[in-house]
Homo-oligomer: A and B are copies of this chain.
C-alpha cells in the first residue's frame, strides 16, 4: 500500500481548471454558495465524478457525493473524504477545492491501482462552507450532521436578499437525498493551512487535532441622520463613529489578549451613506475566534459590555444578532495519530496543530470520527487571490490523504 501514489499532474490540473470557473468581469474568483458561478464549479465537479465511475448523489441542502462502492463492500459504513468548492469573494483556488479534488484523486488512484477497499470510499463537497453569502458557515456539513434543520437552512436569506433553497433549485442542486443518508465510518479533510505556522517552521504536513470556536454576530447601530456642517459635535448621535469605536475596541482587545484570540470586522455599511450626512445607521459583522470555549465566551461578554456602555456614551441604540456560534472541536485522536504515522512513514515532517479556520470536518466530527490534514500556505495568505501552495506540498498532502483513506477503508 505504501507504493500507491496519486497522480500529481492530474490533481493540479483539476485544481487549476476549477479555479478558472466562476470569475467575474474583473477576473475575481467569486464562486459564492448556490450562485450561477457555483453552478459552473458544481457541474464540472459532477462531470469529473462521473468520468471516474463514481455514483453521484446530491442531498436536499445541495451537498454533492461521489461514491465508490462495489458488491463486496456496499452497505458498509463508508470512509468519507471531503471539503467544499464554494469560495469567498476574490478567493484563491485552493481553499476547499483542494480537499475535494484530492479526495477524488485518491479514489481514482486507488481504483487504477486495483485496490479493493473493505468499505466504500466517498468524496463529498459540502454546500456553503464559506458562509459569505449565507450564514452560518459550514452550513451543508452542519445540516448533514443534524446540527441545523434542513428546512431552516433552506429558508436562510443571504446578504443579497436571496433564499438559499430557491437558489439551489434554480441552479439544479436541490437533490433528493436526506442529509445524513450516508453514515460515515470516518471522515478525513485535507486543506491548505491558510495560516503561517507550517511555512514558518518548515514543516510539510499538519495533523490537525483541534479547531477554534467561532462566534459571528451582526451589530446594528442606530443614531440620527443630521447635517454634517450644522450639527455641533456634542449634539450628534453618529452611528458611524460608534461603529468605529467598536471596531477599534475589538482590534485592540484581541491584539492585547494573552491567548491567540482573533477578532475581525469584515463587512460594514452606513446609511444613508452620503458625504455630508451624519450616518443614521451603521451595520457591521464581528468574527471572534478562540480555541478555548471559556475564553471565547469572555470575548463575547466583553464586546457586549462595551456595546452597552457605547450605547450610552455615543447616544445611539445598538442591537446584536447572532449569525453563527460553534464551540471549539477536538478531533479523533486515532485518526490524528494515523495521519502522523502515515506522514512519517512517507518521510514527511509533520506536526500536530490547531485549525484557525472553520472546516466541514468540525461538523462531521459530531457524527463520525474525524480529523484533518494541513499543507503549508505561502505567506499564510488565504481568502485572497494570492493564496498559494507549492506543487510538492499539494502532492504530499494528497498522498497522505490516499494512505489514510486506504488504511481506514481496509477493515
- A residues with a Cβ closer than 8 A to B are 88-90, 130-132, 135, 137, 193-196, 212, 214, 216, 224-235, 238, 240-241, 243-245, 247-248, 251, 254-255, 257, 260-280, 285, 287, 289, 323, 355-358, 380-384
Chain B residues, Cβ within 8 Å of A257: 233
Q: How far is the CB of A56 from chain B (nearest CB, A)?
A: 29
A231–B276 contact, CB under 8 A?
no
A225–B90 contact, CB under 8 A?
yes
Chain B residues, Cβ within 8 Å of A262: 228-229, 231-233
Closest to A30 in B: B272
A274–B265 contact, CB under 8 A?
no
Q: How many copies does the complex hold?
A: 2
B268–A240 contact, CB under 8 A?
yes
A228-B264, A231-B380 given; 16 more Cβ-contact pairs under 8 Å: A88-B276, A132-B274, A196-B230, A196-B232, A227-B356, A227-B382, A228-B287, A230-B357, A232-B262, A233-B254, A233-B261, A243-B244, A248-B248, A266-B276, A267-B275, A276-B287
Closest to A277 in B: B383
Query: With A234-B255, A244-B247, A381-B224 in contact, is A89–B272 under 8 Å at CB?
Result: yes
Chain B residues, Cβ within 8 Å of A244: 243-245, 247-248, 251, 265
Cross-chain pairs A/B with CB under 8 angstroms, 9 sampled: A88-B274, A225-B384, A227-B357, A228-B262, A229-B357, A231-B356, A233-B257, A275-B287, A275-B323
Within the assembled complex, what's the spacing in Å between the Cα atoms of A248 and B196? 31
- Name the contact of A280 in the complex, choosing from B277, B279, B358, B384 (C-beta under 8 A): B384
Q: How far is the CB of A135 from chain B (nearest CB, A)?
A: 7
A235–B266 contact, CB under 8 A?
no
Chain B residues, Cβ within 8 Å of A275: 131-132, 135, 216, 266-267, 285, 287, 323
Q: 7 closest Cβ contacts across the A-B interface?
A: A195-B230, A230-B356, A244-B247, A228-B264, A244-B244, A89-B272, A225-B384
The A interface, classified by DSSP as helix, strand, loop or mixed, is loop
Query: With A226-B384, A266-B273, A275-B287 in contact, is A241–B233 under 8 Å at CB?
Result: no
Within the assembled complex, what's the spacing in Å between the Cα atoms of A228 and B251? 12
- Name the contact of A241 in the complex, choosing from B234, B265, B271 (C-beta under 8 A): B265
A273–B89 contact, CB under 8 A?
yes
Q: How far is the CB of A205 from chain B (nearest CB, A)?
A: 16
Chain B residues, Cβ within 8 Å of A135: 275
Chain B residues, Cβ within 8 Å of A194: 227, 229-230
Q: How far is the CB of A101 from chain B (nearest CB, A)?
A: 20
B228–A383 contact, CB under 8 A?
yes
Which interface residue of A212, A269, A275, A285 has the most chain B CB atoms within 10 A?
Answer: A275
- Name the contact of A89 in the complex, choosing from B196, B241, B277 (C-beta under 8 A): B277
Query: With A270-B268, A275-B285 in contact, is A381–B226 under 8 Å at CB?
Result: yes
Within the assembled complex, what's the spacing in Å between the Cα atoms of A206 and B247? 41
Q: How far is the CB of A296 from chain B (nearest CB, A)?
A: 12
